[in-house]
Amino acid sequence: MDSSRPDEPVPASAGTVDPAAAQAAPAAAAPRRIVLPIHYLWVIGAAIVAVLALQFLGPVLTPFLIGAIFAYLGTPIVDALERRGVSRTLGTIVTVLLFGVAILALMIVLVPLVRAEFGLAAKKLPELFARGIAHASPWVEQNLGLSLAIDLATVKEFIAENADSAKELSMRVLGGLKTGGLLLISVIVNIALIPVVMFYLLRDWHMIWGRVFGLVPHRWRGKTRQIVVEIDGVLAEFLRGQGMVMVSLALYYVIGLSIAGLQFSLPIGILTGLLVFIPYVGFGLGFVLGMLAALLQWNGLPGFLAILSVYGVGQILENYVLLPWLIGDRIGLHPLAVIFALLAFGALFGFAGVLMALPVSAALLVGMRHVRAAYRASPLFDEERAHVDDDEP
């Protein structure tokens, strides 16, 4: 046997076989298993289970999805603390407490001010109604020949009576054992579940990811890891940029509305800044809140023009300065795509679908990029290259 070919099999008549040579000889390759279409039923089944879970278990999944979103946002903080020598459990506790304190501080600031604004609205509503009738009466009488005569005291009494009735009805509903009690317990349990889910996901993030990734078929793992990294990059870039946009606009609206003299500039400015996370819709809701507050506070036109100018400049600042600068074309997630995803997933799966809209949009964006790259590399797109390849010997 030629010594230059160590992988040559030893014939049976060669007598005694050297154990070292036998150990060095590679084992016979196992036959490759053929993947049949039926084997993909595992993937199809997992997708069907996920869709059915969102469809029928949306209210149950909501606190888990919110906790998962908070855990995703808090993972960089826990990883940074872990690199500094802090245990992952302690870093997770610190991160959960930081998120809880931030949300609690926001609620402490916003809730009393929003309640005060609604109280002021309830008090001024009869006066505003009477003022509107006084302005509309001449036009109605001149053009329609009708006389509007409404007693302001009667309107106030009617509103007060209905407000008391609505309060009694709400207290009766909330006090019911099968309605209000169970609803209150459900809300408390869901709110308490969010930090618990966030804690365990943060602490066991790498273990959970390792187990999920271990279920991916071996030949898909390279591409799957690449796609997951790209989705994570898109989400991180979008959330980081959007967070900076929200904080910048919240500061702008608080300062701008304060300069305009609006009484509730702090809660309205913060709410408007936070609501811009929903493109266009958030700005519209903030604008309505600002104009409603101006209607309750002022009688003349200058106040409304000041509020209108603040929101107009804010829209220009958001669309032409902050979004291109802080987010720009690095992501490619168009605002209309975000709106469509929020509406579509909300209509299909309720509030749980709204929470899933952004991650799924990022995944679809990355998937479309890979499909586009595969299409541009195919002979269908570049026929000349295909003809050159066919002509080569």
CB within 8 Å of 191: residues ≥ 6 apart: 63
Q: What is the dihedral of CA 128, 129, 131, 134, to 10 degrees?
A: 170
Residues 69, 351: Cα–Cα separation, whole Å: 14
**The predicted structure's pLDDT at residue 110:** 74
Query: Reduced to 3 states, what is the DSSP secondary structure of residue 342?
Result: helix
Task: Using the predicted structure, report yes or no on whether residue 117 has a pLDDT greater than 90.
Answer: no
**The predicted structure's pLDDT at residue 31:** 57
**The predicted structure's pLDDT at residue 125:** 67
**The predicted structure's pLDDT at residue 99:** 92
Q: What percent of the chain has pLDDT over 70?
A: 66
**The predicted structure's pLDDT at residue 101:** 92
CB within 8 Å of 213: residues ≥ 6 apart: 221, 224, 225
Tokens of 245: 């946009």
Task: Using the predicted structure, report yes or no on whether residue 81 has a pLDDT greater than 60.
Answer: yes
**The predicted structure's pLDDT at residue 46:** 77
DSSP structural state of residue 280: T
**The predicted structure's pLDDT at residue 379:** 78
Mean pLDDT in residue range 293-313: 81
Q: What percent of the chain has pLDDT over 90?
A: 10
pLDDT digits (tens, 9 = 90+) for 25-79: 444 555 566 666 676 677 788 778 877 877 777 778 888 888 888 888 888 899 8
Tokens of 69: 């979103």
Tokens of 62: 């909501």
Lowest-pLDDT range of 49-53, 162-166, 368-372: 162-166
**The predicted structure's pLDDT at residue 129:** 65
**The predicted structure's pLDDT at residue 144:** 66
Region for residue 350 given its phi and psi (left: phi exceeds 0; alpha: psi -120 to 50; beta: otherwise): left
Residues 282, 285: Cα–Cα separation, whole Å: 5
**The predicted structure's pLDDT at residue 251:** 92
Amino acid making up residue 3 = S
Residues 318, 310: Cα–Cα separation, whole Å: 12
**The predicted structure's pLDDT at residue 332:** 66
Mean pLDDT in residue range 217-229: 85
Q: Which of 247, 287, 289, 253 minimizes the C-alpha distance to 113?
A: 289
Lowest-pLDDT range of 82-96, 316-330, 379-393: 379-393
**The predicted structure's pLDDT at residue 252:** 92
**The predicted structure's pLDDT at residue 39:** 63
pLDDT band at residue 155 under the 50/70/90 scheme: low
**The predicted structure's pLDDT at residue 335:** 67
Mean pLDDT of the chain: 74
**The predicted structure's pLDDT at residue 347:** 80
Residues 154, 156: Cα–Cα separation, whole Å: 5
CB within 8 Å of 284: residues ≥ 6 apart: none
Mean pLDDT in residue range 238-264: 86
pLDDT band at residue 356 under the 50/70/90 scheme: confident
**For the chain, how many helices (H) and strands (E)?**
14, 0
Q: Looking up tokens 């958030």, which residue turns up?
A: 282
Tokens of 66: 């919110």
pLDDT band at residue 12 under the 50/70/90 scheme: very low
pLDDT band at residue 17 under the 50/70/90 scheme: very low
Sign of CA dihedral 347, 348, 350, 353: negative
Instruction: Let me know: does 332 contact 34? Beta carbons within 8 Å.
Output: no
Mean pLDDT in residue range 15-32: 50
pTM of the model: 0.64
Residues 89, 212: Cα–Cα separation, whole Å: 21
Report long-range pairs for 331-335 (Cβ below 8 Å, ≥24 apart): 331/234, 331/237, 331/238, 331/241, 331/365, 332/234, 332/365, 332/369, 333/234, 333/238, 333/361, 333/362, 333/365, 335/279, 335/280
- If one compares 158 and 138, the residue with the highest pLDDT of the two is 138
Region for residue 333 given its phi and psi (left: phi exceeds 0; alpha: psi -120 to 50; beta: otherwise): beta
